[in-house]
Structure 1
């Protein structure tokens, strides 16, 4: 029986990565994600609610929002179900954080880098199919050279990660394997590989949750399941409507095609009868072809039937 938190629930994801007590888990994951590029030594959680540009603007609420010791601002989102314009949504989130860096008065537009990391438990057809990780940057279209490091979006499509526990080659792959399958584990893997997974096991063990936290977790799971049920119902309803519409259209098209076919057959029979009369009058095959549109083979068959 599974004994770990489902990280795809809103509360579960924030419980693992969005608290001071588990901050080192987030630092470790980010360092494994950007291995070889930079190292985060510390980070500070920021206000997850980004105030709108005007009083009437809507607030943007992130799953996790933090700033690293180097000044990079990082957004981390967990999206369990696909939605229309998801790529644009992530761009909007990232852009809002950049815009909110603006300073009134004299300012030279020296902005801090903003990274958005999206865990996606679904496949978005706009991203490369079959690819777990897609990094989007501002780059020259022709040579691919980066022109600015101030904005970057990392999309992790978890359905495309198919490695088993023994096939994981580095800590980043181990993280992805654990997060994708954690709610099915009876034991946490990789405990001997990296101490961070031991802490992850302690943080996410359902048996260690307080009554209050367990209630919050169960509410989060219920919301997630309700959303999934709504999603499935929408698909089912859409399919049924599509089948009904397709059936009605099919019947209409069938009737139309049947009428066209019947009309064509009636015209053909009329031409056959006309050809019989012309043959009886001794008209040539060429002449009958011109008046009826029948082929020479068809006219010869009609002639043989008359004999």
Structure 2
């Protein structure tokens, strides 16, 4: 038996949002947000994880959400595949979490900071001017000329796991240990001392140990892994089909303009049509929010599909 992969929704929620996960999540956020400094003394998990009784994929998968001891809200998301409008969705979720604080009887001065922590299993920033060796990027709202901080109310932290290339023997400090855990825990067959020397990482490995799963939970986890592989394959296939259709249309025109236009239109229309087909199929077993997250379609588009297909 090994360990469940924290890059899966099941694994991430079980490890970081279970009833005993508060110290573990606090340690992870100190590493990712504050570069290992112990700035967060306490937090409250706002959406505690509850495992469904059967693996029917009807569980509405939400980001792990926590409130820090200074009143700040942190939303944490793990994303294994890059989808369309990914950055727009991150910005929407952050600003939505910020605006949702202002309920009846609340005032602007009641608004507390929101920090969005996004962990990706793909390269998000591939600009050659950006240091590709840094797996963690932290952003705030700054003055474009002077880079002076405008406000600390909104912050974004992006963790690109493929940019982390250290092995166990090279780990230095809390940040490295958590990055290794997120990236490689699913490959481990036993708990390494380089991680277990830290109490919180030892606790995370204990929760992630597959031997601690019930038969139903293990079936759910294995089914999710299979589902992720299938969905990722469908998305890649849709993009390839769109490219092929675009090339065929452009070549048929026999002109350079037709080729360029065919490529652009074919890629867009072919991929879009295929994504809609995939979304229709996934709606048979998944909720609209999860389908939106996987395919990159907006939640409104997915809901329209669900309503249109509803007999």
Same fold, TM exceeding 0.5?
yes
Q: CA deviation at 1:219?
A: 2.6
Give the alignment partner of residue 212 of structure 1, picking from 216, 223, 226.
216
- 1:22 maps to what in 2? 21
Q: CA deviation at 1:9?
A: 1.4
Q: Is the 8 A contact 2:26 2:40 kept in 1?
A: yes
Q: Encode CA deviations 1:41-98: one digit per residue, 9 max, x unaligned.
A: 22112248xxxxxxxxxxx963201101211100000011001221121111110111
Give the alignment partner of residue 188 of structure 1, picking from 188, 191, 198.
191
- 2:232 maps to what in 1? 228
The whole-number CA distance in structure 1 between the counterparts of 2:150 and 2:37 is 17
Report how many aligned residue pairs link the two structures: 241
CA RMSD, 1 decimal: 2.5
The whole-number CA distance in structure 1 between the counterparts of 2:36 and 2:198 is 18
The whole-number CA distance in structure 2 between the counterparts of 1:108 and 1:64 is 25
Alpha-carbon spacing, 1:16–1:162, altered in 2? closer, same or farther (3 Å): same
Q: Encode CA deviations 1:216-254: one digit per residue, 9 max, x unaligned.
A: 2123212212211212322332343345346545x556x
Alpha-carbon spacing, 1:105–1:5, altered in 2? closer, same or farther (3 Å): closer
- 2:94 maps to what in 1? 94
1:71 counterpart = 2:74: no
- 1:122 maps to what in 2? 122
- 2:43 maps to what in 1? 43
- 1:138 maps to what in 2? 141
Q: Is the 8 A contact 1:102 1:109 kept in 2?
A: no
Give the alignment partner of residue 204 of structure 2, picking from 176, 200, 205.
200
Q: After superposition, where does 1:264-283 map in structure 2 within 5 Å?
A: none
Q: CA deviation at 1:192?
A: 5.0
Structure having greater relative contact order (Cα 8 Å, sep ≥ 6): 2
- 1:3 maps to what in 2? 2
Alpha-carbon spacing, 1:211–1:126, altered in 2? closer, same or farther (3 Å): same
Q: Is the 8 A contact 1:188 1:197 kept in 2?
A: no
Which is greater in Rg?
1
